Amino acid sequence: MIRLVLCDMDGTLLPFGHQEVSARTIAAIEALRRAGIGFGPASGRELEDVMGFFGKGSVTIENGILANGKYVLAGGEVVYRRELDRHALQKVVDYAASQRDCGLVTHGPARSDGSAERLLLGASAEEAAGMRTSEGGRVDVTLAPELPDCPILTVGFLCSGSTTRFAEVRQELAVAAPELDFVSPAPGFLDVMPRGWNKGTALDLLLEALGLATDEVAFFGDSENDLALMRRLPNSVCVENGSDEAKRTASFHIARDLDDAPARVMEAIARSGGDLAIPDEVSRD
């Protein structure tokens, strides 16, 4: 029986280019909770970013694996928080500065409302102007000369080069900063994580805090930074728009994020009282 549903955000619950999850997704989360089933994000993003995708006050996040496992929330309490090593990050900044198509992205100090400026390091203004998101939009960041003077929980790495160039950069980063892992959730972008730590390793902390077994958790994902969780959880689900590797790793396969497929499965889980019942119209198995 499923007692907790975890969902990746970008490309899974939140289609790329969208600013908020769908109304159907929010209703499905509410249906889970009425059925006594928990919900939480399992995302590379920090909690403040994730909350903004659910609209103002419509969903309360009490459980989750955030920042690719560097922040774990259970029952409304923070049970784990891990900052990235500044010395290791400086190696990444130095590498980016030596290239013409790369940059490190992180957050500045938190403002009074909890928001924070997005900063780009290791790139010139000209280089920043040429960088694009995975959807082709401009990267909305402020150039910064050095790492911010605050704890750093989440870092991304951008490369605006070709697919071949991106693969080369990734290999070079692994040599430049061996203390870190680099995982790609989207084309041209890398999540930067402590070596050996990810969503999958953080899962044990969440399960222990909530008293759950792995077969009591369903997880929805789409990309490389979801693989560690998919390997740990027998009830793992990949959306149709997911990567080939994510599809090979997941136990179940459903329609696209744009079709509200995760929400429709969550509705079915709630109706059944905890059975992972995937409706025929969204199943891709």
**Sheet holding 102-110: strands in order across?**
142-143, 116-121, 102-110, 155-159, 189-194, 180-186
pLDDT at position 133 over 80: no
Mean pLDDT, rounded, for 140-144: 87
Q: Could you give the 3-state DSSP secondary structure of residue 157?
A: strand
The pLDDT of residue 282 is 98
pTM: 0.93
Percent of the chain with pLDDT over 70: 96
Tell me if 235 sits within 8 A of 227, measured CB to CB. no
Mean pLDDT of the chain: 94
CB 127 within 8 A of CB 103: yes
| Spatial CB neighbours of 57, under 8 Å, sequence gap ≥ 6 | none
Average pLDDT of the segment spanning 239-265: 98
Q: Which one, of 32, 23, 17, 18, lies nearest residue 220 by Cα?
A: 32
Fold of 4-82+197-272: Rossmann fold (3.40.50)
Pick the range with the lowest mean pLDDT from 62-71, 127-136, 220-229. 127-136
Q: Given this model, what pLDDT does residue 139 score?
A: 65
What's the CA gap between 137 and 18, in Å, rounded?
Answer: 12
What's residue 9's pLDDT? 97
Question: Contact 72/89 with Cβ under 8 angstroms?
Answer: no
Average confidence (pLDDT) over 171-182:
98
What residue ranges of the chain are covered by domains with CATH 3.30.1240.10? 86-194
pLDDT value for 122: 95
Q: Within the chain, which residue ranges are assigned CATH 3.40.50.1000?
A: 4-82+197-272
Class of the domain covering 86-194: alpha beta
